[in-house]
């Protein structure tokens, strides 16, 4: 158990809909990262927050957004969903903002768009 929790575990929704994925980092970790894993693209970094502020952006679509709340949990919002958004979405957390910090991953949310 990494200490990172993600809800829900599975999500099935229709094209055009909007969903929210939730992540609670390990106790004390200030950084939260979101990654997407699909069969054709592998694991890809989406976005990072550090202590409530956006720190880095990766290949995140404009239809996707995220935020980190004062209690450090984070939400990833996916809107106008398309079939290609079906993937595993992982959240990870780390203690700070150093290159030396390891990231701890949650179990993921499996999103299926039909």
Partner 1 sequence: DAKTTQPNSMESNEEEPVHLPCNHSTISGTDYIHWYRQLPSQGPEYVIHGLTSNVNNRMASLAIAEDRKSSTLILHRATLRDAAVYYCILKSQGGSEKLVFGKGMKLTVNP
Stretch that binds partner 1, among 16-24, 64-72, 74-82, 100-108 (CB under 8 A): 100-108
Name the DSSP class of 84. G
What residues between 5 and 24 interact with partner 1 by CB under 8 A? Answer: none
Which residue among 49, 108, 111, 113 contacts partner 1 (CB under 8 A)?
Answer: 108
Which residue among 22, 45, 73, 86 contacts partner 1 (CB under 8 A)?
Answer: 45
């Amino acid at each position: 158990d990494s200490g990172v929790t993600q809800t829900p575990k599975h999500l099935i929704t229709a094209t055009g809909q909007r969903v929210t994925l939730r992540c609670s980092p390990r106790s004390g970790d200030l950084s939260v990262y979101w990654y997407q894993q699909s069969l054709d693209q592998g694991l890809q970094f989406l976005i990072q927050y550090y202590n409530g502020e956006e720190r880095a952006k990766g290949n995140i679509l404009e239809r996707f957004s995220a935020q980190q709340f004062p209690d450090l949990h984070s939400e990833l919002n996916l809107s106008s969903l398309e079939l290609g958004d079906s993937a595993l979405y992982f959240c990870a957390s780390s203690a700070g903002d150093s290159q030396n910090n390891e990231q701890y991953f949650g179990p993921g949310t499996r999103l299926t768009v039909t």
